[in-house]
Amino acid sequence: MDDHLIQVLSNIGMITFIALSAYVLLLTGEISFGQQAFFAISAYASGIATAMWGWSFWLGLLWGAGVAGFAAFLLAWPTLRMRGLYFAIGTLAFAEMVRLIFEVFHYQIEIDGEMVGPNGSEGFRGIRYIFENNISEFQYMMIIYALLASVLVFLFAIERTRVGAIFRMLGEDELLAEMQGVNRTYYKVMATVIAGLIAGIGGALFAHMNTYVEPKIFNVMLGVHSLAYGLIGGLGTALGPLIGVSLDIGLLESTRMFTGYRMVVFGGLVAILLIFRPRGLLDEEAVHAIRSAWRRKTPSTRQQSEIDAPD
Amino acid sequence: MLELQALSKHFGGVHAVDDLSLTVNRGEIFGLIGPNGSGKSTTVNLICGVLPVTAGTISFEGHDITSAQPHRAVAAGLARTFQNIRLFSHLTVWQNLWVAQGRTDGHESSRFVKRWLAGDSTARRSVSDLIAFAGLSDRGDEYAGNLAFGEQRRLELARALATGPKLLLLDEPAAGMNLEEVRELDERLRQLVERGITILLVEHVMELVMGVTDRIAVLNFGRKIAEGTPAEIQNDEAVQEAYLGSSNKA
């Protein structure tokens, strides 16, 4: 594989994490403009762990995702009472706050005669674990995709359980979900934390591939894109965000088909989809139709309801 | 079974429900009627915990549920339908009924894993029962939003039953029904009572209310102006004046 391709695929993989993070919240009916904050928190936390504390990559990744998940847990409480537009504004404000905190966050220590650590708006250089341990770009790409596959399997599993149905119920009609006995607070916090963890995995991967991070990478455009990916690819399945990212990064950015006009094309694509397929290419109905077609192909004499019971 | 004591709900200066006391006994069908804006739906929302109470208490089977969150009220054994049909239209008929099977109040995580591994056949069976009760046996895989109006009405009732309620609050279930359908509903409600479910029926359609209920309370401007058997209510002068007006339809 040539280097350019590896880099593109690695980028697609990493950005898909944050797109999936926004997707989980979209399922529950919340539009978050702030998932880049958890991406950033984990990028810094995992970078600090490996570059400054000497932790291993995997431990750093766990730590980063954990810190991001905890931050999401803390954010869940004040934003719980916010709905719709207010939730969007609340998450946006939170993400900007996090970015600005990193602008002034100084925490450096001397390693081998060199200052390492976050240095405010100068960024955080020297997250070199991958290079120091001779992990090739190809190997790192495989790590990204192995983790992505695990997250996707996890999300598929959730979709087939009651929790997945509850997320979609909350997304469609919160009051009705509550009248069906759903503890809204519990499941909303759960969705927020899952979203934070997923964004956190992506953030740790990002920091270690780039070897350096700076606050302005995690601006609001990253959040807007990650939302758009789910809406383009479709909200019917966790593959939707992956399709959205592949279309944008794989097709528009990497092929340089529309150099300079990429954002115009991307914006147009979003607008067209919002008109013709408001819930994305692979929306619920499309997924349902595909599944039914698949089922008809596989011979089975079982009752429909037995196949259906998704537990 | 359900006891409202001096229940009040004020929206600013508007007394939507004012000093309302009533008792619903186990096994009966209790009718709540009144002109538009008399506070019937507000009362239902107060009982379910959707709206906070201004004053007064609500107790259900001896437990105080005045300030219980909706899912707690459901866990206690309350379920409701809505004035306008409310379903999860992007979920299948099956999924609409499945989620409420077993209480989803958040303390089920460990049991949940077990059930997931075991394939929870009880829940599956009771969902099938409910689908059959709603007469939707061959429609289980259909999106709720694609059902016909009558089917959606039946699914909504099944959806409320899926939580396993002891008391069912029905908010104008006969709205938009023709006489034939009203008779069917009447029959269905009687079946539910036989199954041991108590019903609080908020309704405009007098053919249904007068025929099926055991007792009726009449609201006007948030206050209870009469209570009694259907026959007593029909002959009550205050009711005729406030609700039925001069043209006594009932």
CATH number at residue A108: 1.10.3470
Place of tokens 């239902």: B44
pLDDT tens readout for residues A96-136: 999 999 999 999 998 888 888 999 889 999 899 998 899 99
Instruction: Check CB contact under 8 Å for A175 and B88.
Output: no
Work out the mean pLDDT of chain A and round it to a whole number: 89
Using an 8 Å Cβ cutoff, are B166 and B143 in contact?
no
Residues of B in contact with A162 (CB under 8 A): 98-99, 104, 112
- Model confidence at A305: pLDDT above 50: no
pLDDT confidence of residue B8: 93
What DSSP string runs through B57-108? EEEETTEE-TT--HHHHHHHTEEE--SS----TTSBHHHHHHTTSS--SS--
Tell me the pLDDT band of B120, cut-offs 50, 70 and 90. Answer: low
Q: Is residue B243 domain-resident?
A: yes
Q: Is residue B72 domain-resident?
A: yes
CB atoms within 10 A of CB B114: 10
Instruction: Check CB contact under 8 Å for B82 and A176.
Output: yes
Instruction: Check CB contact under 8 Å for B104 and A169.
Output: no
The interface predicted TM-score (ipTM) is: 0.84
Who's near A229: CB < 8 A, 6+ residues apart?
A15, A16, A19, A22, A23, A241, A244, A245, A248
Min Cα separation A91/chain B (Å): 25
Chain B interface test: which of A167, A180, A291, A295 (most B C-beta within 10 Å): A180
> B141 and B113 share a domain?
yes
Instruction: Check CB contact under 8 Å for A308 and B120.
Output: no
pLDDT confidence of residue A187: 92
pLDDT confidence of residue A292: 82
Instruction: Check CB contact under 8 Å for A172 and B159.
Output: no
- Model confidence at B126: pLDDT above 80: no
> B174 and B197 share a domain?
yes
Q: Is residue B84 domain-resident?
A: no
What letters, b where the CB count within 10 A reaches 16 and e where it falls short, cover A280-297?
bbbbbbbbbeeeeeeeee
Mapped onto helix, strand or coil, the DSSP state of residue A78 is helix
- Which residue intervals of chain B are DSSP H helices? 40-48, 70-76, 93-98, 109-118, 121-133, 149-161, 179-194, 206-212, 230-234, 237-239
Mapped onto helix, strand or coil, the DSSP state of residue B53 is coil
The average pLDDT across B81-103 equals: 83
> B57 and B127 share a domain?
no
Instruction: Check CB contact under 8 Å for A181 and B91.
Output: no
- Its sign, for the CA torsion B71, B75, B80, B81, is positive
Residues of A in contact with B86 (CB under 8 A): 173, 176
Distance, in Å, from the CA atom of A88 to the CA atom of B71, rounded to the nearest integer, reads 26
**Higher pLDDT pick, A13 / A295:** A13
> B169 and B69 share a domain?
yes
> B71 and B171 share a domain?
yes
Mapped onto helix, strand or coil, the DSSP state of residue A109 is strand
Of B109, B140, B160, the one marking the end of a domain is B160
The average pLDDT across B110-137 equals: 68
Residues of A in contact with B162 (CB under 8 A): 180
pLDDT tens readout for residues A146-203: 999 999 999 998 988 888 889 999 999 999 999 998 999 999 999 999 999 999 999 9
Q: Is residue B37 domain-resident?
A: yes
Q: Is residue B82 domain-resident?
A: no
Tell me the pLDDT band of B193, cut-offs 50, 70 and 90. Answer: very high
Chain B interface test: which of A27, A160, A162, A292 (most B C-beta within 10 Å): A162
Work out the mean pLDDT of chain B and round it to a whole number: 85
Percentage of residues in chain A having pLDDT higher than 90: 62
- Model confidence at B185: pLDDT above 60: yes
Tell me the pLDDT band of B6, cut-offs 50, 70 and 90. Answer: very high
Place of tokens 């990650």: A226
Chain A interface test: which of B83, B91, B95, B97 (most A C-beta within 10 Å): B95
Tell me the pLDDT band of A302, cut-offs 50, 70 and 90. Answer: very low
pLDDT confidence of residue B27: 92
pLDDT confidence of residue A54: 92
pLDDT confidence of residue A64: 97
Q: Residue by residue, what is the 3-state secondary structure of A31-71?
A: CCCCHHHHHHHHHHHHHHHHHHCCCCHHHHHHHHHHHHHHH
- Which residue intervals of chain A are DSSP H helices? 3-27, 35-47, 57-79, 85-103, 129-132, 137-160, 162-172, 174-179, 184-210, 220-233, 239-245, 262-276, 284-297, 304-308
Instruction: Check CB contact under 8 Å for A168 and B80.
Output: no
- Model confidence at B249: pLDDT above 50: no
> B133 and B182 share a domain?
no
Instruction: Check CB contact under 8 Å for B100 and A180.
Output: yes
Question: Containing domain of residue A32, as a range?
Answer: 3-308
Instruction: Check CB contact under 8 Å for A172 and B88.
Output: yes
Place of tokens 């509550």: A178
Residue B38: φ, ψ to 5°: -90, -5
Pairing of strands B223-228, B29-33: unpaired
Residues of B in contact with A305 (CB under 8 A): 94, 124, 127-128, 131, 140-141
> B116 and B169 share a domain?
no
pLDDT confidence of residue B90: 86
> B172 and B250 share a domain?
yes
Task: Measure the CA angle with vertex B54, ends B48 and B60; round to 5°.
Answer: 35
> B170 and B153 share a domain?
no
The average pLDDT across A85-92 equals: 93
Distance, in Å, from the CA atom of A243 to the CA atom of A220, rounded to the nearest integer, reads 21
Task: Measure the CA angle with vertex A13, ends A69 and A233; round to 5°.
Answer: 90
Distance, in Å, from the CA atom of A91 to the CA atom of A75, rounded to the nearest integer, reads 8
Counted domains in chain A? 1
pLDDT confidence of residue A103: 95
pLDDT confidence of residue A308: 46
pLDDT tens readout for residues A274-292: 888 888 898 888 888 888 8
Question: Containing domain of residue B53, as a range?
Answer: 1-77+165-250
Who's near A224: CB < 8 A, 6+ residues apart?
A33
Long-range Cβ pairs for the range A137-142 (8 Å, 24+): A137/A3, A137/A6, A137/A7, A137/A10, A138/A1, A138/A6, A140/A10, A140/A208, A140/A209, A141/A6, A141/A9, A141/A10, A141/A13
Using an 8 Å Cβ cutoff, are B169 and B46 in contact?
no
Place of tokens 């039946």: B154
Counted domains in chain B? 2
pLDDT tens readout for residues A237-277: 999 999 999 988 888 777 777 777 878 888 888 888 888 88
CB atoms within 10 A of CB B105: 15
Residues of B in contact with A186 (CB under 8 A): 105-106
Q: Is residue B20 domain-resident?
A: yes
pLDDT tens readout for residues A13-69: 999 999 999 999 999 999 999 999 999 999 999 999 999 999 999 999 999 999 999
Residues of A in contact with B77 (CB under 8 A): none
pLDDT confidence of residue A227: 92
Min Cα separation A221/chain B (Å): 30
**Higher pLDDT pick, A66 / B75:** A66
Instruction: Check CB contact under 8 Å for B94 and A308.
Output: yes
> B111 and B132 share a domain?
yes
Residue A187: HSE in the Cβ half-sphere, 13 Å Cα cutoff: 28
**Higher pLDDT pick, A233 / B37:** A233
Residues of A contacting chain B (CB within 8 angstroms): 161-163, 165-166, 168-169, 172-173, 175-184, 186-187, 284-285, 288, 292, 304-306, 308-311
- Model confidence at B114: pLDDT above 60: no
Of B135, B160, B185, the one marking the end of a domain is B160
B222: CATH: 3.40.50.300
Q: What is the pTM of this model?
A: 0.87
> B28 and B138 share a domain?
no
- Model confidence at A1: pLDDT above 70: yes
> B73 and B94 share a domain?
no
